[in-house]
Structure 1
């Protein structure tokens, strides 16, 4: 063998992610899960909360509306206000606010105290959710950013489809106050983990108001956030009152509401995975299919959901459809604004939470005036409008 014999170049191995960084990303996902679970926590417990505090189910729905409204504002305002504040400190403070407010919710002696606590929950949720993904990707090498992003958003998705149903099951087996205290305990554990695992995270490029406003001038981003608002708003107009819907319309025993919602969550997880690969190819088609399926499930509930079996079956279809919404919209946004993904994501987070607030409020007004069937028709109508809007937008908006 000659000394000058060429040696094949070896590929540079992908840099490994330190164990502490991996655990920190997992802790962020768990914190997002806890935050979003707290936001939707009252949904399956409205009957119990209303009965325990002496208010109607429609009025009890304000415990979902108020934090959703505050979260939508916090998601765009807080990232601007904190400017160059260390992100680790901001996340820990927001977790502490959520923890204290959730404890206060579980111990609230009356509805006014509960609503005040939920006000602070909303501020914490919006700010944390808007920052979580951008913090997670700073903890790993560039090659691992997609996985870290998916994990951070996965916490929110899992909370939407599993967190609230699990809390409903706990509340149904014990008491609605216990459900709040259990989630507060989860928040305390997650806060301790983040304190131990997160390094200092000085701000890089602070978000400015003009950066957010500029995203609304991108047609695809504008259509994506519109789809988010309509689909999520339609979902929450009905889902806020899923407990009385299943009990009064389908005749499901109150003790089975928690297991039924866990089934909804499992279907939602399936919808998320099924939509993932499809959205990478064509997010518009995923949202069209989701809109049709969601609209059909809600509209058929008043006809085919009059029995426990029919109600649970439609609830599973409903969960399958809604589970596809976040991944479909987020994929659309990343494709539409790759150079401003953080700002576009903050905007979408704001619209997502605003939709929860507006949808829950609209549903509450309709339920108090026209009963639970009205909430289902309201959700179906918003889902139909979203589907028509995405269809009318055309294929050019997928880029």
Structure 2
């Protein structure tokens, strides 16, 4: 073999290993978010299994969100100079532990402890995943790495509920968590195999979190993502009841509609990558506004089920683009403080998630699902105008204080 051919082959092998590492992080993100949203599709059997009300069982969804909002900045600071490969593997292990506890819990208190452990993993893994993925590939491929990992997040967001609903009916909710734990073992083996050692470049402390929050573009992105996440979850939390009650779908119809939503969301993540590369401000604004419009359309077309399902799939497609756009926005705001930006973004997103679900519940109880969808859509559209307040393509500081 000639020297240049040997070098080319080694580079190809290295590139393949790098992308396998990115895929292992994306798989971990998928596992994380799927685990987070599984209870939404299995709330009734979980409540019945522990002999608690569905409202109490709902803590399995809201509690991890609040814990994640606190854990994101805390874990980012606590990680210090710890090798980022170790951080990813430990967070994935925490997801496995959470699923095992959920599957074997003798009572709701133990079950909730498992969900709180998941909240720590949500805050930690979300804060580091995309930043680490970008380090594995050349800078020119950073957006593609972001879209692959965000596709894992989007897939988990849109798959968690339907997987829980369908699999829970087939095998029981405890076996769903057990299967998730087994999937986690396979993913952690892949991470150990494909992730190289990743020493810390810039350790994050409180001062650097504040530095990132002071960047005008970063603040706009955090506020916008909070609005869009809140609006989305005001409606999304009640998508399954909307399909079942408002559109009168049976179990198979609900499953197919949710599956279509999931597939569209994954495709939307890669569409978001292309939009973000061209113009990140317009990409975030357009995708956010589209989510709001399709949420409202999905509710307003309740009398035309086929058209309503098309709107639901378009909703999934456009929301799939949002996490990619937000991540690229955070990176553009301050590349050197990207881990700090990810941590603050996770906090904003998780608080918005929990608040949106709570507001949606109040609206559904008082005025019906249609009202929740309308308010959720309006909140998303309001969030879409916020990125337009940013007129600068790059607002990142050129220097950092010494570590």
Match for residue 93 of structure 2?
A: 96
- After superposition, where does 1:1-399 map in structure 2 within 5 Å? 15-16=11-12, 18=14, 19-140=16-137, 145-306=142-303, 308-391=305-388, 393=389, 395-396=391-392
For the structure 1 residues 261 and 48, does the alpha-carbon distance in structure 2 shift closer, same or farther, using more than 3 Å as the test?
Answer: farther
For the structure 1 residues 378 and 117, does the alpha-carbon distance in structure 2 shift closer, same or farther, using more than 3 Å as the test?
Answer: farther
Contact 2:76 2:340 in 1 (8 A): no
Number of aligned residue pairs: give it: 387
Identify which range, 46-55 or 21-30, moves more after superposition. Answer: 46-55
Measure the CA separation in 2 of the matches of 1:30 and 1:116: 24
Contact 1:106 1:177 in 2 (8 A): yes
1:172-225 deviations in Å (ceiling 9; x for gaps): 443333322222211111122223443444433211111111122222111111
SS at match of 2:214: coil
For the structure 1 residues 380 and 33, does the alpha-carbon distance in structure 2 shift closer, same or farther, using more than 3 Å as the test?
Answer: same
- Please state how far the C-alpha of 1:360 moved relative to its aligned partner: 1.9
Task: Report the TM-score when normalising by structure 2.
Answer: 0.85
- Please state how far the C-alpha of 1:231 moved relative to its aligned partner: 0.6
For the structure 1 residues 375 and 78, does the alpha-carbon distance in structure 2 shift closer, same or farther, using more than 3 Å as the test?
Answer: same
Measure the CA separation in 1 of the matches of 2:237 and 2:142: 34
Measure the CA separation in 1 of the matches of 2:276 and 2:18: 28
Measure the CA separation in 2 of the matches of 1:32 and 1:94: 10
- Please state how far the C-alpha of 1:300 moved relative to its aligned partner: 3.4
Larger radius of gyration: 1
1:134-174 deviations in Å (ceiling 9; x for gaps): 33344455565554444333322332234543444323443
SS at match of 2:249: coil
- Please state how far the C-alpha of 1:321 moved relative to its aligned partner: 2.1
Match for residue 4 of structure 2?
A: none
Measure the CA separation in 2 of the matches of 1:238 and 1:311: 14
SS at match of 1:284: helix
Measure the CA separation in 1 of the matches of 2:256 and 2:232: 19
Identify which range, 242-251 or 15-24, moves more after superposition. Answer: 15-24
Measure the CA separation in 2 of the matches of 1:126 and 1:318: 26
Contact 2:94 2:118 in 1 (8 A): yes
- Please state how far the C-alpha of 1:306 moved relative to its aligned partner: 4.1
- Please state how far the C-alpha of 1:30 moved relative to its aligned partner: 1.1
- Please state how far the C-alpha of 1:120 moved relative to its aligned partner: 0.9
Structure 1 gap ranges (5+): 1-11
CA RMSD of aligned residues (A): 2.8
Contact 2:247 2:305 in 1 (8 A): yes
Identify which range, 186-195 or 361-370, moves more after superposition. Answer: 361-370
Measure the CA separation in 2 of the matches of 1:150 and 1:310: 29
For the structure 1 residues 369 and 180, does the alpha-carbon distance in structure 2 shift closer, same or farther, using more than 3 Å as the test?
Answer: farther
Measure the CA separation in 1 of the matches of 2:249 and 2:54: 17
SS at match of 2:200: coil
Which runs of 4 or more aligned residues in structure 1 lie more than 6 Å from their structure 2 counterparts after TM superposition?
A: none
Match for residue 7 of structure 1?
A: none
Measure the CA separation in 1 of the matches of 2:291 and 2:55: 23
